[in-house]
Structure 1
């Protein structure tokens, strides 16, 4: 199982926002882009989608940025992955429309891979965003290490 880059970046945005929760100022796209060396324009699209799904509150203009709309403990990672991934078809035979495998009706591989995918998603369902960020005391240091790049504002 492999996550798309879109999902990877989505999780990074959410984790960064969760780690910075409680700061006086909101997180900016530029800040995350620099910390993770990701394109601002790509992150802008991800942030727009997260805002449309009710996960981020975004504010424009001077002093703007983004914050989580809900506590990190209420954001389920399995749900986020399901929202951002386009399909979980591990092999061709998972799709009724594109399946050309002649062994489908006699093959046990499809059942095995279906169970593996379900187990994978069950693991993600057992985790919240809060589980993925350091405890409060370690959070400031973790964010500071991420943000220790030239041109970034000093950590709050």
Structure 2
């Protein structure tokens, strides 16, 4: 099963970044849910770790909602990724089997090292992009479509 937490969190953050540019930076969970194609309770759960890590501020009540806690140019995609997936590794290793050859003896350790290396590359790439950069890139995709 594919994990969509990061893509969902990124889409929500992009939506909030776009809203922050307008005159209504606070977005209700219902409006965010509609944009994500899900329900408001899923959105509220998605926003919890983003709020805990200081990326989103939420307020309750009739005029409540969520907004960016910092400017989009100060939030990296790596921060959003870490909030969305936590410390869960990018991949899960197969359970170890009986050690009968060099492959079965070393596969788990090799895969664990490979996972750390790839996760580092992912975080490095995401750390070089801000939410503002991503919003600009995304808007550029509109112009690329004939």
TM more than 0.5: yes
Q: Which residue of 2 aligns with 1:10?
A: 9
Q: Which residue of 2 aligns with 1:119?
A: 121
Which stretches of structure 1, 4 residues or longer, exceed 6 Å deviation after superposition?
A: none
Q: Which residue of 2 aligns with 1:55?
A: 55
Q: How has the CA–CA distance of structure 1 residues 100 and 122 changed in structure 2, closer, same or farther, with 3 Å as cutoff?
A: farther
Q: How has the CA–CA distance of structure 1 residues 58 and 106 changed in structure 2, closer, same or farther, with 3 Å as cutoff?
A: closer
Q: How has the CA–CA distance of structure 1 residues 114 and 59 changed in structure 2, closer, same or farther, with 3 Å as cutoff?
A: closer
Q: Which residue of 2 aligns with 1:90?
A: 91
Gaps of 5+ in 2: none
Q: Larger helix proportion, structure 1 or 2?
A: 2
Q: How has the CA–CA distance of structure 1 residues 31 and 89 changed in structure 2, closer, same or farther, with 3 Å as cutoff?
A: closer
Distance of 2:67 and 2:31 partners within structure 1: 13
Whose RCO is larger (CA < 8 A, sep 6+)?
1
Gaps of 5+ in 1: 143-156
Aligned length in residues = 133
The answer on whether the counterparts of 2:53 and 2:83 sit within 8 Å (CA) in structure 1 is no
